[in-house]
Every structure is written in C-alpha cells, then in structure tokens.
Structure 1
C-alpha cells in the first residue's frame, strides 16, 4: 500500500520514512504549515467488552477511566519495569487504538495477545486500514477544517467518519497534529493538504517531537529504560494511582524512594547520522558509557538533535560526548518542562 501511495503522489519513502526534501523544521515555512507521513508508526486496535479492563492491567496509565476525547501516553514494561514499548492510546467507536513504533508493533501485539487469556478482547493490526499523517503550523487547522471543523485541545482527539485527529504537545507555540486517516480517504486528503501546506520529511516531525521533549521507544532502545529514566511520567505516561501492571512495583519504588538519579536531557551534537541506542560518555570516566541516546534526528547535514538518558550528575558538570569517549560534544539545551516529582504537590 505504501509504495502504491508513494507512486501516485510522487513522494519518496525509505525505511517507512518520507524523505528527499530540504530540512524544514527550523524554517518559516514549517511554522506556517507543514504536512508529512508517519509510516514508521504502527496501529493496533483492541476491541471487545473487556478491552479497557484488559489493557488497564497491562500498561502504566489509566484506561478504565479514559475520557472519550482524551489521548494518553503509556509504557508497556517487563516485570523489571523496563519499557518494551511506548504508546499513544485513545478510544474510538470500535475500541481502543494504540499507536507505537512500527518496528515494535508485531512483537508487542503478540506479547499482549498472550495475556488476553479468558478476557473478551481482540487485538487487530490496523496498518492496512489507516494512514498516519503529521501536520501542523499556523495554516494546519484551516487545511483540515472540512473534515474536522472543531480542533481538539492539546492532548485530546476528535473522531468521526474521517478518522481521528490528535493534537500533540506543542513546542514554541507550534500547532502539531496527527491525523489517523482511513485509507479510502487518504488520496483525497493528501492531495488537499499537500496543496495548502509544505510537504516535509518525516524527520522534521520527529525533530519537533525531540524539541518537545517527548521520547518514544524503538527496537534499538527496547528494555533499556524504566519510564522515569526518560521523563515518561513528566509527559503524562505514568499514573501512580492506578492498579497493578507488569513492572508497576519497580516503577513505583523508583519514584517514591527517591532513587531518580538518571534522567533524559535534550541536546545537540555536531554530527549527522546519530541513532537511538548509541552510547554517551563523560570526560571524567571515559572508560565506560554513562548514558544512551533515546531518540535522534539529523538537524542538518552536520548536526543532530538528540534526547539522551544519563545520570543527573553527569549532566550537571563536565563534557558529554556521543558515540565514543572522543566523539562529538553534546551541547545541552533546555527541556520545555521542569524536572519535578509528579507524585508530590
């Protein structure tokens, strides 16, 4: 389906990413209005009368009390609290939709299916039914108005016959939306949007995601992090008041016993081609890596923006490098949210 879509609309895909355009994330045209595709994100629907209660017992956030129009994040963890995947999830008329990195979707869906047991819940791969369109900027609301007259608030969604429109966390005032568009409507939608908004690479969307300080788990970082290590509770991905789920005891203990010595930071490095899972080193102890890249994207031909996890002590003083002890220096940038304990007022 993806290659046929690409051929019809004369766009280029590689590794499920839209590519071939000049970087736009820091250009005025991006602020005015952009559109791209997120074919590297996968969709799984959980349906059936026990869908909410089943999923509630598997992930780090509340599902049973999820309002109809709200979109939430959640972690799916091992028994040791390590993240196997990260989701966006929301309700539709058919059930609960999960969006996650496509390179994890098949294994994650299979693992969830193992725990359904007697619950009346069905898991369905929806990648052939929908196209995930990323768009934003000043003109984006007008571009989708014919399908979604009322724009959702941040962290909310609107669903109708045209699919689901999700409003993501903004950064520097930038409106960011994801449209989960039915395949039958995708050609019409893309033709309309690409005529009104600047078409950009998928990486431009992920650069805005990095600037928003929003991490997501990929195959390269599976089982590397407890949620708090990548600030996942700070971006709404953990509910400390809900019931049990795999890894819940470890996640709660890390929070309440004050052992949060590792955190995620935002940075820029003078090197292109950095990828998730690469090591981070500190000049004071170069013999051993002190951290890991969570997400990375090329900012231009010679630099990258990264989210990386390391000890707070290493972030506070000294020089950090990526890839090797003598690799490119990481210049720290401020996150758009404070590092706080969300369990305390």
Structure 2
C-alpha cells in the first residue's frame, strides 16, 4: 500500500448518536453553533456545543440518514453529551439514541477517496452509502470524507469500493499537517474559545442563524476583535513534547503544545509574541524541542 492509496480508518474515539422525531432539527438549532436547517440527505455540517460563556464543550459532525440526525461526539464523553441534551429536551418531540454499538464513525482519506465515493471537493456534500451516509469533511475537504455506517458489513462495503484499511494514526498525521484540531485532545473543555482555535474557518459556526448556546459571547469575540491567541501547526526539532507542555520565548511562556505525532504538533500561541519572535529572529522552544509554527493554508487570520 502506498501513501497515495485511498484508505479508511475506524474512529474508535468517536461514537454515533441519533436525534430523531419531528422536532429534531429545531431542538438542535437552539443548542449548537451551526445551522442545522442546512442538514439534509445531501448536506452535512460540523458544529459545536458550547457553554453559555462561549467555551468549548463538544464538537461533532451532523448528517441525516433514514429520518434521523446522526452526530459523532467523542466516545469517552458521549454519555455526558447525551445527558446535556436530555436536560434541554423538555417537551420537544424528539428521541435520543446511543447508536455507538450499532454504527461506526469512519474516516476515508488519501488518494482519490472523495472520487471513489462520488463526492465533490465541497465541504459537507453528502450521499447515502452502505446503509448509512458518507460526506466530504465539512471542516476541510483536504481531510477527505467521513461516514456513519452500520457496523455489520462496513469493512466489506468500504473495501468493495476500493478503500484499504489504515490506522487512525495515519489519518492523525494528515490532520496535524493541515493544522486541524481534534476534539478535547486540542480543545480544553470549558476553557477553549472557538475563534482562538480557528473553528470559524473550519465551518463550525453560522453567523446568521440566530441564537444558540454561547452565541452572544462568540459573536462579541468576533466583532470586537478580542482574539490574542491562535492554534498553529508546528514543526518540532527534538523530542515530541507532551500535550500541555509550555511553549517559551526567551524564558517566557507564550503558548502550549496540544496533540502531536512525530515531528508535527499543534500549539496554541500568543500572536503578539509570535510576531516579535519573527521580527527579531528568536526561537520558540517546548521541552527539549525547538518549535517552528506555520499559518494553516486555509486560515483567514
């Protein structure tokens, strides 16, 4: 197998849940950061569940399949997410179902992955596939596609479509190289701000959908230009620092390492100090490694 072959990896760190019932879209519309009204058989979105103060709690994709909205929160935090949704159910005509035992979250990437599925390089474009749904990653088409599929028969259907099995770490290397954060590995719950972590550029936020949890403070952050930090992909020269390792400049802490693999990681860095380092030719360090940041090609800042 070459790096250019289209492959698939089962994401054990994501678990599928279903929101069904006649009020399913309206229920989620008032809670999450993206416009759920856009979700259809041919359209998926990426969205956030925030605190009332606009801090990150959960991220997930939303796709439609067989009359239900399917979401993929992090597996280890899935029960907590469902518990929060149930708090807001009240009289909404919906059902909430944990389908992690019956369905898989799958990533398809490399080579001609999108073409093999018949998907365009258009964020969120979706099609029915193998008893579930497949869609171009709604954050960034360069990440490939996602699929929510029945566990039984998923691997056979994917391999019949020409995909070869690959490890989740292969996808992780792609994600890190593109500078894309992944859930609570990179976004600290109840602390991370969406705009510091470039989630607006990754299509997580609708600015014209109306109210949702955390909307007011998220909008205020955007329109008052209050962002002082940004998440960057960084190249490391030296041992990979553990997540949470401070990034320093002349002995001063100016950021923090997040997830990483090999010589690539993500780091949240103060923009003012990053500018000074570039102007003065200074070196950033984390642990025993030097840190060289690069602006993601898709970022607008």
Q: Counterpart of 1:97 in 2: which secondary structure? A: strand
After superposition, where does 1:19-98 map in structure 2 within 5 Å? 29-98=2-71
> Normalized against structure 2, the TM-score is what?
0.87
Q: 1:182 to 1:233 in 2, by over 3 A?
A: same
More moved, 202-211 vs 63-72: 63-72
User: Are the equivalent residues in 1 in contact too, given 2:103–2:148 (CA < 8 A)?
Assistant: yes
How far apart, in 2, do the equivalents of 1:225 and 1:99 lie?
A: 20
User: Are the equivalent residues in 1 in contact too, given 2:121–2:141 (CA < 8 A)?
Assistant: no
User: Are the equivalent residues in 2 in contact too, given 1:203–1:297 (CA < 8 A)?
Assistant: no
Corresponding residue number in structure 1 for 2:144: 176
Match of 1:313 among 247, 272, 281: 272
After superposition, where does 1:225-304 map in structure 2 within 5 Å? 225-271=192-238, 274-276=241-243, 278-286=244-252, 289-294=253-258, 296-299=259-262, 303=263
How far apart, in 1, do the equivalents of 2:213 and 2:169 lie?
A: 32
Give the gaps of 5 or more residues in structure 2: none
How far apart, in 1, do the equivalents of 2:93 and 2:171 lie?
A: 37
Q: Counterpart of 2:127 in 1: which secondary structure? A: strand
User: Are the equivalent residues in 2 in contact too, given 1:82–1:226 (CA < 8 A)?
Assistant: yes
> Normalized against structure 1, the TM-score is what?
0.76
How far apart, in 1, do the equivalents of 2:47 and 2:39 lie?
A: 12
Q: 1:139 to 1:241 in 2, by over 3 A?
A: closer
Corresponding residue number in structure 2 for 1:11: none
How far apart, in 2, do the equivalents of 1:189 and 1:122 lie?
A: 29
Give the gaps of 5 or more residues in structure 1: 1-27, 341-345
Task: Report how many residues are paired.
Answer: 292
